[in-house]
Amino acid sequence: MNMNPLVNILLRTLAVGVAAFITPGVVITSIFSAIVVAIIIALLNHYLKPLLIILTLPVTLITLGLFILVINAFMVWLTSAIVPGFEVTGFWSAVLFSILLTLFNWAFAVEGDNK
């Protein structure tokens, strides 16, 4: 399904906001920060995540795919280092946030998050 890019960004932003609201240890200070977080995570997932998956393939296979959670948490941590107004206090907060974000994006059927 081809979705309007603006609708895609808005749905991603909604998913980021809801996931941050639910996850303890994750703080977003403004709607602008949520929009930037949604865009940065989408870009990192599109460009960096496939490379990291290939580089960590042996570990991912040994852990039966659970290492992908670590990669997703790294993406969230990297985004928090880049975007002012987005703070993640710990590893488990990043893991929970990434799991919730994946579930919300799947529920909203946002394009590009089916990896």
Determine, yes or no, domain membership for 84.
Answer: yes
Alpha-carbon distance of 50 to 1, in angstroms, equals: 22
Determine, yes or no, domain membership for 89.
Answer: yes
Determine, yes or no, domain membership for 14.
Answer: yes
- pLDDT at position 2, please? 59
pLDDT tens digits along 7-58: 888 999 999 999 999 999 999 999 999 999 999 999 999 999 999 999 999 9
Backbone angles phi, psi at 88, to 5 degrees: -125, 125
- Using CB atoms within 10 A of its CB, is residue 27 exposed (0-12), middle (13-18) or buried (19+)? middle
Which residues span the domain enclosing 27? 5-108
Determine, yes or no, domain membership for 115.
Answer: no
pLDDT tier for residue 3 given thresholds of 50, 70 and 90: low
Count the domains in the chain.
1
Residue 1 corresponds to which tokens in the numbers above?
């399904």
> pLDDT: is 65 or 1 the higher one?
65
Determine, yes or no, domain membership for 113.
Answer: no
Determine, yes or no, domain membership for 31.
Answer: yes
pLDDT tens digits along 60-69: 999 999 999 9
- Using CB atoms within 10 A of its CB, is residue 114 exposed (0-12), middle (13-18) or buried (19+)? exposed
pLDDT tens digits along 77-100: 999 999 999 999 999 999 999 999
